[in-house]
Amino acid sequence: MHDPERAARQSLIDHCRAMNASGLSLNKSGNASIRWSEGLLITPSGRSYDHLLPEDIVFLHADGHCPPGQLIPSSEWRFHVDILHAFPAMNAVVHVHSTHATALACVGAEIPAFHYMVAVAGGDRIPCAQYATFGTQELSASILHALRGGLRACLMANHGQVSIGANLSEAYALAEEVENLARQYLLARSLGPTRDLPAEEMAVVLEKFKSYGQQRQME
């Protein structure tokens, strides 16, 4: 195993351990993947993140085929494979069972434009994918449907949330932001109906987000 691959595998382990430490996912729940070579690297099924080694991370071909001699990949490998195929500009997928996002998902609720930061996921809302049994092709199809239009995150009914990014750190940060927005939305709803921003304003925000964070002005 070459050093870049070992570093990529260790990065997956580090981010999954951070999931546990931050409360984004507890124990063995959640999973993550990154595009690698002609396929992807993904966390194995049912293994404690605290005890994972780089050699335990599973390589899958782009079609989902798992070469022999490895641990069993995450039960959710199908939607990781399908998302990376559908979004060629994205290179990482993070799936967690974070508390507030999951609470909303358990009542089939999306996160509307109650706050302009909802645009961080690429749209004027964060939708909730319809329920399907974990690990199935039906669940993968439901998630892809929810992410249509270039969205980078969605809730998963009675399950959790999924986020994608150009790299693993970006996908992980988006999962954190979705959980934060879910918590804020639930708190706001406890005070009454939210005053959601109109589509016109969210379009302005989305346009501003295209250049948000750039450090150099154009000549």
| Active-site amino acid positions | 76
Sign of CA dihedral 40, 139, 20, 108: positive
d(CA 98, CA 33): 18
CA distances from 203 to 116, 138, 143, 200, 207 (A): 10, 31, 23, 5, 6
d(CA 97, CA 34): 19
Is residue 66 within 8 Å of 73, Cβ to Cβ? yes
d(CA 113, CA 103): 18
